[in-house]
Structure 1
Amino acid sequence: MADEVDEAIAGELRLMDPSVRMSQSLVRQLLDPHFVEVGASGRRWAYEEMLAALPEMDGAAEDGPRYEPSEMIGVMLAPGLVHLTYETTIGGNRARRSSLWRKQSAGAKWQMYYHQATPVPSEDT
């Protein structure tokens, strides 16, 4: 069970890597084709929208601000389904994040199925 959580965490961290964010082929390996995100802005993103926008989003430039994750933990909800929670900081903005990673069959790769980011108000300590 710990290996599955570790694999999901590794995938989550890869998605924060600017070189991965700039590569549609690498992102396609990490996002489930049915991927949905509700971003910190409240916008709903579908798979194709995210693929198109990710290279222009925060954290994509090698010389720009990067996501700094903290307190990442994972729980195996069911076979093939891992839930991750953590916080990020980028450019002085904090967000609490939740991701569902799934593995659809033996031998398949873990892919992010759902992601949600909730802004943390600056007065929240």
Structure 2
Amino acid sequence: MVTPEDLAEVVRRERQLLDPSVRAVGDSVAELLHPDFVEYGASGRIWDSAAITSALKADPGVSGEAVEFSPVALSEDVVLLTYRIVGTPGSLRSSVWVKDSLSSWRIRFHQGTRLATD
């Protein structure tokens, strides 16, 4: 069963992935990623764990502020987290977090969608 503490932990870990000081350290990012991590970026590019770790290390900045975190348990060991990035450009974000055998939450999937600018 996913507890309120689990939901808070998932949000905490997502916030870590948005922290430039964490993003700049490849090992810190890698610890948060599931081995089968995949990201569908707002640019249309598909990233795996090695590619995203390298990209974040090279450019650890974040384009805005993360707000409106909404974690929802999908099963005993899966949480869907949605939120928004407010900035230029703004975006909608979604992540799927899974609990591994060590009782640690790791991000398995992430997608960013840019907000319309009209």
| Distance apart, 1:77 and its partner CA | 0.5
CA distance in 2, matches of 1:108, 1:50: 24
Aligned-residue CA RMSD (Å)? 1.4
TM-score (norm 2): 0.91
Q: The residue matched to 1:34 in structure 2 has which SS?
A: strand
Q: Name the amino acid aligned to 1:111.
A: R
Pair 1:104-2:97 in alignment: no
Equivalent in the alignment of 2:40: 38
Q: Give the partner amino acid of 2:48.
A: A
State, as a whole percentage, how many aligned pairs show the same letter: 35
Residue 89 of structure 2 corresponds to residue 89 of structure 1? no
Secondary structure in 2 matching 1:41 = coil
Consecutive aligned runs of 4 or more in structure 1 exceeding 4 Å deviation: none
For residues 69 and 49 of structure 1, the distance between their equivalents in structure 2, rounded to whole angstroms, comes to 22
Aligned length: 116
Which residue of 44, 51, 54 corresponds with 1:52? 54
Equivalent pair of 1:20/1:27 in contact (CA under 8 Å)? yes
Match of 1:29 among 14, 23, 31: 31
Q: Check conservation: 2:92, 2:113, Cα contact below 8 A.
A: yes
